[in-house]
């Protein structure tokens, strides 16, 4: 792998997801290419410091893209398709970080992308948080997998975070609330579904995660549920499984510790347990904790920043592999 020398455009640079990609690029020493930042007119005349140099935020509708090699889209659904069309017409390879372009005729999932793919849609971020299951499956085949995702409101970006903050302030001050981003009150509440259910009772996010796991772990009976919790950052996954063979706790912990990007927390003190406040933001590691085993059945907790681990890191790794 070499340096990332491409000229890269970051669209939606001032949003929650865009800022995470910006930080990831700044921290990646292998990125030595040119970076351009794009956003809507609301961010006109803003600047961002990138490695101690100011970068102006350009208005996407008024810019040309002739010098770009790559574009990362962290933009709302209503402008993603038109923007992708302009970029592809200019010969720019597009990386859709939001998943809005999954149904585009040229879209290819990141897990199936080839060097000549022009529109690459990043996989569901929760799938990356579960990549440690693959070596476990190789060691002893999984038979059943049951996953409950406690998802933060940052999965809906700045709008999701803003709605939780507003509702919390309004309720604490005795005012009524409005719901726009979420279907119901999210402050001081749990949402069992963030959108309509299909005939099998799954939300689109749950269905995408199921499909991704089916490709990665064919033949494993898998169940997935996602609950939205009133937390700004950090996803917490409760993972239970049954596998073919009995593995000792020490052997399993040693297996997890060998995986890149995985950190095993095996301390008993309650005050040290991973939490969204402590490890849920600006953290590149998947943290596994509270491993419990009962014969062939296992149970543990997963804590991670889904944006950094599930989206930013896979995209930067893909760019490095192609450099």
| Whether residue 147 is found in the same domain as residue 210 | yes
What residues contact 252, with CB distance under 8 A and at least 6 apart?
A: 136, 291, 293, 298
Whether residue 39 lies inside any domain: the answer is yes
**Edge to edge, what strands does the sheet with 8-11 contain?**
47-50, 53-59, 35-39, 8-11, 70-73, 93-96, 119-121, 107-109
- Please give the full DSSP string across 70-113, using - where no structure is assigned: EEEE---HHHHHHHHHHHHHTT-EEEESSSTTTTSTTEEEGGG-
| Whether residue 115 is found in the same domain as residue 235 | no
Confidence at residue 276, expressed as pLDDT on a 0 to 100 scale? 92
**In the predicted structure, residue 151 carries a pLDDT above the cut 80:** yes
Q: Are 37 and 13 in contact, with CB atoms under 8 Å apart? A: yes
| Whether residue 133 is found in the same domain as residue 268 | yes
- Within 13 A of 294's CA, how many CA atoms are on the CB side? 5
Q: Are 311 and 323 in contact, with CB atoms under 8 Å apart? A: no
Whether residue 2 lies inside any domain: the answer is no
Give the CATH number for residue 258: 3.30.360.10
Share of the chain above pLDDT 70, in %: 99
| Whether residue 148 is found in the same domain as residue 284 | yes
Whether residue 160 lies inside any domain: the answer is no
Q: Indicate yes or no: pTM above 0.75.
A: yes
- What span, in angstroms and rounded, lies between the C-alpha atoms of 295 and 243? 9
Whether residue 168 lies inside any domain: the answer is no
| Whether residue 133 is found in the same domain as residue 86 | no
220-254 pLDDT, tens digit each: 999 999 999 999 999 999 999 999 999 999 999 99
| Whether residue 139 is found in the same domain as residue 232 | yes
**Phi/psi of residue 308, each to 5°?**
-65, -50
| Whether residue 137 is found in the same domain as residue 256 | yes
Q: Is 295 exposed, middle or buried (0-12, 13-18, 19+ CB in 10 A)?
A: exposed
| Whether residue 142 is found in the same domain as residue 78 | no
| Whether residue 45 is found in the same domain as residue 72 | yes
Longest pairwise C-alpha distance within the chain: 62
Alpha-helical regions (H) of 241-280: 249-257, 276-279
**Residue range(s) defining the domain that contains residue 80:** 8-122
| Whether residue 143 is found in the same domain as residue 228 | yes
Number of domains in the chain: 2
Whether residue 178 lies inside any domain: the answer is no
> Which tokens sit at 304?
């991670």
Whether residue 3 lies inside any domain: the answer is no
| Whether residue 83 is found in the same domain as residue 215 | no
275-322 pLDDT, tens digit each: 998 888 888 899 999 999 999 999 999 999 999 999 999 999 888 887
| Whether residue 61 is found in the same domain as residue 198 | no
- Kindly state the DSSP code that residue 145 receives in the 8-state scheme: E
Give the CATH number for residue 78: 3.40.50.720
- The candidate with the shortest Cα–Cα distance to 183, out of 192, 174, 173, is 192
Whether residue 264 lies inside any domain: the answer is yes
Whether residue 171 lies inside any domain: the answer is no
- What span, in angstroms and rounded, lies between the C-alpha atoms of 318 and 56? 26
């Amino acid at each position: 792998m070499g340096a990332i020398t491409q000229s890269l455009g970051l669209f939606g640079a001032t949003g929650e997801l865009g800022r995470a990609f910006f930080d990831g690029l700044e921290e990646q020493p292998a990125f030595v290419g040119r970076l351009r930042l794009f956003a809507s007119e609301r961010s006109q005349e803003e600047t961002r410091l990138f490695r101690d140099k100011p970068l102006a935020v350009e208005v996407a509708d008024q810019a040309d893209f002739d010098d770009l090699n790559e574009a990362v889209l962290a933009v709302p659904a209503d402008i993603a398709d038109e923007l992708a069309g302009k970029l592809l017409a200019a010969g720019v390879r597009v990386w859709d970080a939001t998943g809005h372009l999954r149904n585009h005729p040229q879209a290819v999932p990141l897990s199936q992308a080839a060097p000549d793919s022009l529109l690459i849609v990043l996989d569901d971020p929760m799938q990356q948080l579960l990549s440690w299951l693959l070596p476990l499956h190789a060691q002893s085949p999984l038979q059943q997998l049951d996953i409950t995702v406690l998802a933060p409101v940052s999965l809906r970006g700045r709008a999701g975070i803003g709605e939780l903050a507003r509702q919390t302030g309004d309720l604490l001050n005795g005012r009524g609330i409005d719901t726009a981003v979420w279907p119901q009150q999210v402050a001081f509440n749990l949402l069992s579904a963030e959108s309509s259910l299909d005939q099998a009772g799954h939300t689109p996010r749950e269905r995408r995660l199921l499909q991704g796991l089916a490709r990665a772990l064919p033949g494993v009976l898998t169940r997935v549920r996602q609950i939205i919790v009133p937390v700004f950052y950090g996803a917490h996954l409760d993972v239970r499984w049954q596998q073919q063979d009995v593995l000792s706790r020490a052997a399993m912990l040693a297996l997890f510790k060998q995986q890149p990007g995985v950190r095993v927390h095996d301390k008993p003190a309650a005050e040290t347990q991973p939490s969204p406040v402590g490890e849920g933001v600006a953290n590149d590691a998947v943290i596994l904790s509270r491993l419990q085993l009962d014969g062939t059945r296992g149970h543990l907790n997963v804590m991670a920043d889904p944006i950094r681990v599930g989206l930013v890191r896979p995209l930067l790794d893909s760019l490095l592999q192609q450099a």
